[in-house]
Amino acid sequence: MPPSEIIRLPQPRFGGPVSVEQTLLARRSVRTYARDPLTVDDLTQLLWAAQGVTHSQGYRTAPSAGALYPLELYTVVGHMVGLPAGLYRYGGREHALERKCPRDLRSELCAAALNQRPIERAPLTFLLTAVYDRMTAKYGSRGVRYVDMEAGHAAQNLCLQAVALDLKSVVIGAFQDREVKRIALLPADEEPLYLVPVGR
């Protein structure tokens, strides 16, 4: 990422008061959110849980076949303390954000997702995408399955971290791929897989 476009994030916490068992017990799909903004600390933890680097060799919080890491993670910010509205790409190695668009895209993204209101009402929505070629170049057509498995791991990590932060989330897979790609300025070889609104 060019230095001028990097937004450094605070370091994530590696301990908390909620056990894994408690987060599994409490995790539910929630589609209604308060109007309260989220914080940069909340965002940091959620990004790290989904795609954070956990080892000097670049290993991440979610397993990846062959350590090829085909996933990309974006956040559509609408209402946060300390971060302007816009579309941001997460760089796990740098633990930083790259601002891709300076506008609040929640309404457009909601329309592309068949008017599912949680996307418009949540203070932020995560977009998980994949570059399938990174995996299929090594594993052939079987690589498609590995990418989809990895996306599930990352999305579950994100949802469990939300619970640990006393936040709510829902995983959304119904959307118009072409429209989401256009709104999120995705390159041709990158496919949208999940939308995950998060709020209080």
Structural domains of the chain ordered from first start = 3-199 (3.40.109.10)
In the 3-class helix/strand/coil scheme, how is 177-200 assigned residue by residue?
HHHHHHHCCCCCCCEEEEEEEEEC
Q: Give burial (CB, 10 Å; 0-12/13-18/19+) of 99.
A: middle
- State the pTM of this model: 0.95
Contact assessment for residue 86 and residue 94, using Cβ atoms and an 8 Å cutoff: no
167-181 pLDDT tens trace: 999 999 999 999 999
Q: With bands split at pLDDT 50, 70 and 90, how would you rate the model's confidence at 7?
A: very high
Distance CA 64, CA 71 (A): 9
6 falls in which pLDDT band (50, 70, 90)?
confident
Give dist(CA 6, CA 4) in Å, integer. Answer: 6
Q: Look at residue 2 and tell me whether its pLDDT is greater than 70.
A: no
Of the candidates 78, 80, 56, the residue with the CA atom closest to the CA atom of residue 67: 56
Q: How many Å apart are CA 188 and CA 134, to the nearest integer?
A: 14
Pairing of strands 124-130, 71-77: antiparallel
The pLDDT tens digits for 74-97 are: 999 999 999 999 999 999 999 999
- DSSP-assigned beta bridge partners for residue 60: 53
Report whether 131 contacts 144 (CB < 8 A): no
On the CB side of 71, CA atoms within 13 Å amount to 32
pLDDT digit string, tens, across residues 26-54: 999 999 999 999 999 999 999 999 999 99
User: What mean pLDDT comes out for the span 4-16?
Assistant: 89
Distance between CA atoms of residues 67 and 57, nearest Å? 10
pLDDT of residue 111: 98
Per-residue confidence (pLDDT) for residue 3, from 0 to 100: 44
Task: Let me know: does 52 contact 97? Beta carbons within 8 Å.
Answer: no
99-132: pLDDT as tens digits: 999 999 999 999 999 999 999 999 999 999 999 9
Pair 185, 87: CB distance under 8 Å? yes
CB 192 within 8 A of CB 109: no
